[in-house]
Amino acid sequence: MAAIETEKQRGRYAALAIAAVVIVLGIPLWWKTTETYRAWLPFSQINELDSLQLQLSVEVEVVLSRGTLSPEQQKKVPLSQTREQEHQIDAKTVLRYRYETKYRTATIMEEDALNQPSAQEADLSLHMLSESACGSVVVYIIPETSTLLPADVKVYVGQRRTALLRAALFEGTAGLKEVLSTLEPQVKQVVDTMSFSHQDILAALSDRIRVGQVSKESLADSMRAIKSSPGYEITFSLLNPDPKSHSLHWDIEGAVNSYIQPLLDKLNPIANFSVDSQILYYAVLGVNPRFDNSVSAYTLNADSLAHVINPVEARLGSNAASSNPVLNFLLYVPDAQHSPLFIRDHSKREIPSNAFHSPRWGGIMVYNVNDMYGPEAEFPVDINISMSKVMGVFLAQLRLMLGVQKTQPPPGFVLQSAGSEGLADWELDRLMWSRSVENIATASTTITSLAQLLDQISNIVINDNIAQQVSSAVTSLQAAVAELEAGNLAFALQYSREAILASERAFFDPSLLHLLYFPDDQKFAIYIPLFLPMCVPIVLSLLKIANEIRQRRADKLAKKD
Amino acid sequence: DWKSNLLTSTQFFNSGHTNNWAVLVCTSRFWFNYRHVANVLSVYRSVKRLGIPDSHIVLMLADDMACNHRNPKPATVFSHKNMELNVYGDDVEVDYRGYEVTVENFLRVLTGRLPPSTPRSKRLLSDDRSNILIYLTGHGGNGFLKFQDSEEISNVELADAFEQMWQKRRYNELLFIIDTCQGASMYERFYSPNIMALASSQVGEDSLSHQPDLAIGVHLMDRYTFYLLEFLEDIHPASQANMNDLFKVCPKSQCVSTPGHRTDLFLRDPRSVLITDFFGSVRKVEITREAVNLTSAAEQPSEPLSYVDQLPVAEIIHQKPKQKDWHPPDGFILGLWTLILLVFFKTYGIKHLKHIF
């Protein structure tokens, strides 16, 4: 009996020991080994980024030339003013604009420069005197009677960051403050055109905010311009549907180097560009042009232009190695049968450039060569394409596609055309403002939605490199916002570019794929066959031990009584 | 003047999209699932015909029916037993084929989380102004779609993938069409805005196939997609047909199952949504009014590039086809002769070998 008793005791101890091992060792081990590795992310900082509070600071310098102020008023100058405007867009977005205006009188050298016969020359001489910082605007006020600008022109915007504003200021006893307050709205109009207006910033934030708040022109501009991306690919294609008649030569390399490359070099802070070219033979437009007897030429009307692009696009090659957005510029030389070919707009008028473009895709230009040879020429005719004319059109389309050119300026403004660089400094500043804001908005949305996703789905593995990218994106974002506040536009753009690169890399990392959706019944189906056979004997033996203890207690109680 | 340069507001702001993409997936393999490949190829054909280029289509076919050993008419995939429409066509471009069609790859394409080595043709490079058409077909059930007979994608995963696309603004509007059994269960869980969904059958119903072909030996196409193809063949790029017409495709009398649709997440009224907003690629076009005035810079006479052995293009297309090279006889012939020789020597003995050598 005693042996059985010891056996039973040993059995009880064995069962208890096994249960102890399972609970003390087994359960923590199982928990640890089925845990997913999640590196630490700065969730609190990311939550702060969710509400976007941007302050954009612009430095404006207003130079009053001789003849605009009376001597008493001149004594109080130089002075500086700061004006702030706050806009609450929605619950999470607040925009603050800060204009720091410095008023001063013109120096003697500047007066000499302003004495030039025409506005263009004045602009050139003013440039040689000083260099203004990126993002700032300098406005020269010239008296009403000045002959520098033609009669109907009030403002002349130059190639750099200067503008000439002709203003009628009070003579006589008006104080300086009143004079400056009448000047303020005109200066603000110039600054809005040259740096950014509220509508431009709203359009750059169009992902975050409801559409209804943005004006139609700004929305059209933002739909036309290609989205901010770290790099772009530009492809020039020559379409020759009739190689038997025309043997075309175009010096694309030289043309790109002389006309397009300066623009792309200037846009270097914004994005990287790669340019390539191709020639396509036997490529036809998908639409049949109609012969118009009145001009004895073939015409394509504006409604059929939309169907031209698709058949051609199927044949265009592109660089398979990069995922950057592509801008296509096509030069189509019509075949001898259908020459000359002209494009007509909606009101049936001829278009001087003979070209059209499609938002976010590129442009097509039709180049007629039928006047370069007579009917007795020997086919195929060697034709050299005049690249300056072609590149003029492509450059204009490229400026539209990149978002450089916006809708028309206010009346009375004259904008100096860009010249050899293809881009005026203030146009670059404008693009930099809207790109910085767009980048910051996109990067913060990406980071916050990534953090939300990782928070929600507890099964996704977060590797160290993702955590590092996220941290670097957060620091770059904070730096970009700080630089915008301080008014350093170039640094703000650079930080915003780094932020967007890091956030995109983190968000689109291939390891973040969530394929671990387990509904509850599947979880049971996996664990029950593993754990149930093991747990049943343990639980039953524990129950048996508990029953025996209870029985013994009951016996003891019964014995006592 | 600049006002006429801006497109008429109806065109520009009506749909808000500037480009179109299509992701077409067939998830079934094996010869008897011929109809699923035919389904996808017929949608592919319509979408290409209406203008979406191959660079904007991600086509995933889990098996190759056109060049299958059991196909009595190789290099063709037909939609109807009349054999009048070969939906395989001449220029099909399959991006994911065979075993590459997995749930993981499908979700990677949608969310954009592809390894950096993936080429452009295998990526969905859409932006916030893209309208995307997603078409899935195969065998499905209540809340899942079977991939390759070995794994499945659930409706929750699909809804989460769409939400991630929305978070990153990878689409402007999405049209989701699914042709499987109990297809309506797959769009039940969507919660992202701007999604419109159509399915060929409700929960609890089976989607049926159209008709078998005795020569090919399998069912050629599913009913819903067959009538969808018929409907799309009448659409041309300038057509004004809208989504309400698409909802009427294949009523219960033709389809036996009840097609369903879901539009509550979509912002616009389906009546104002054109079919070509998703199936075609109608570009918005503006006239270029201005040109930059460039003075032709001193054009240095650069060396004309010369290519080696360059034929004028007009002559290239008249070249005669190359002579076919001689190939040694096929394995079958060799095996047959070996068999004959072995049988001969076995029967008559090895001593006859000296007669041969």
pLDDT, tens digit (0-9, with 9 covering 90-100), for A203-214? 888 777 766 666
- Interface contact A517-B304, CB threshold 8 A: no
- Residue B78 has φ and ψ, to the nearest 5°, of -100, 155
pLDDT digit string, tens, across residues A31-56: 888 887 888 888 888 888 888 888 88
* Residues A54 and A25 both lie in one domain: no
* Residues A57 and A28 both lie in one domain: no
* Residues A128 and A241 both lie in one domain: no
pLDDT the model gives residue B6: 43
Residue B9 has pLDDT above 60, yes or no: no
Residue B344 has pLDDT above 80, yes or no: yes
Q: What is the mean pLDDT of residues A14-40?
A: 88
Residue B7 has pLDDT above 50, yes or no: no
* Residue of A305, A314, A365 with shortest CB distance to B285: A305
Chain B residue numbers with beta carbons less than 8 Å from the beta carbon of A509 are 113
* Residues A185 and A244 both lie in one domain: no
Distance from CA of B124 to the nearest CA of A (A): 10
pLDDT the model gives residue A191: 86
* Cα A471–chain centre separation: 21
pLDDT digit string, tens, across residues A107-144: 888 888 888 888 788 888 888 887 888 888 888 888 87
In the annotation, is B139 catalytic? yes
- Interface contact A510-B169, CB threshold 8 A: no
Q: What is the mean pLDDT of chain B?
A: 85
Chain B residue numbers with beta carbons less than 8 Å from the beta carbon of A407 are 2, 6
* Residues A158 and A241 both lie in one domain: no
Whether A500 maps to a domain, the answer reads no
Q: Is pLDDT larger for residue A312 or for residue A478? A: A478
pLDDT digit string, tens, across residues B91-108: 899 999 999 999 999 999
- Interface contact A393-B104, CB threshold 8 A: no
* Residues A256 and A115 both lie in one domain: no
* Ramachandran quadrant class, B305 (left: phi over 0; alpha: psi -120 to 50; beta: rest): beta
Picking from A263, A515, A516, A517 by the largest number of B CB atoms within 10 A of its own CB, the best residue to mutate is: A515
Distances (CA, A) of B46 to B28, B110, B283: 21, 22, 17
* Residues A250 and A365 both lie in one domain: yes
Chain A residue numbers with beta carbons less than 8 Å from the beta carbon of B125 are 323, 325
* Residues A261 and A366 both lie in one domain: yes
* Residues A322 and A289 both lie in one domain: yes
Q: What is the mean pLDDT of chain A?
A: 85
pLDDT digit string, tens, across residues B316-343: 666 566 667 777 777 888 899 899 988 9
- Interface contact B283-A355, CB threshold 8 A: no
Residue B299 has pLDDT above 60, yes or no: no
In the annotation, is B255 catalytic? no
- Interface contact A361-B125, CB threshold 8 A: no
Whether A273 maps to a domain, the answer reads yes
* Among the ranges given (A174-178, A433-437, A524-528, B208-212), the one the predictor scored with the smallest mean pLDDT: A174-178
Q: Is pLDDT larger for residue B291 or for residue B170? A: B170
Distance from CA of B225 to the nearest CA of A (A): 25
Is-contact A45 A90, C-beta < 8 A?
no
Residue A71 has pLDDT above 80, yes or no: no
* Residue of A254, A343, A359 with shortest CB distance to B300: A254
Q: How are beta strands B195-199 and B260-262 bridged, if at all?
A: antiparallel
pLDDT the model gives residue B122: 92
- Interface contact A393-B291, CB threshold 8 A: yes
Q: Is pLDDT larger for residue A131 or for residue A265? A: A265
Chain A residue numbers with beta carbons less than 8 Å from the beta carbon of B287 are 302, 343, 345, 351, 355-356
pLDDT the model gives residue B97: 92
pLDDT the model gives residue B8: 42
Residue A555 has pLDDT above 50, yes or no: yes
Cα–Cα distance, A198 to A205 (Å, whole number):
11
* Residues A306 and A268 both lie in one domain: yes
Categorize the per-residue pLDDT at B262 as very low, low, confident or very high, splitting at 50, 70 and 90. very high
Amino acid at A13: Y
Taking the CA atoms of residue B291, residue B292, residue B295 and residue B300 in that order, the dihedral angle to the nearest 10 degrees is -90
* Residues A181 and A289 both lie in one domain: no
Last residue of a domain, one of A376, A402, A428: A402
Chain B residue numbers with beta carbons less than 8 Å from the beta carbon of A460 are none
Say which of B181, B210, B219, B250 is annotated catalytic: B181
* Residue of A355, A449, A513 with shortest CB distance to B108: A513
- Interface contact B169-A258, CB threshold 8 A: no
Domain with A305, as residue range(s), is: 230-402
* Residues A12 and A117 both lie in one domain: no
Name which of B226, B58, B20 is nearest B135 in CA terms: B58
Cα–Cα distance, A172 to A174 (Å, whole number):
6
Q: What is the total count of domains within chain A?
A: 3
Helix (H, G, I), strand (E, B) or coil at A104: strand
Encoding tokens for residue A397? 């389309």
Residue B4 has pLDDT above 60, yes or no: no
- What ipTM goes with this model? 0.81
Distance from CA of B295 to the nearest CA of A (A): 7
Chain B residue numbers with beta carbons less than 8 Å from the beta carbon of A261 are none
* Ramachandran quadrant class, B138 (left: phi over 0; alpha: psi -120 to 50; beta: rest): left
Is-contact B244 B250, C-beta < 8 A?
no
Q: How far apart are the first and last CA of chain A?
A: 26
Distance from CA of B139 to the nearest CA of A (A): 20
Distance from CA of A445 to the nearest CA of B (A): 8
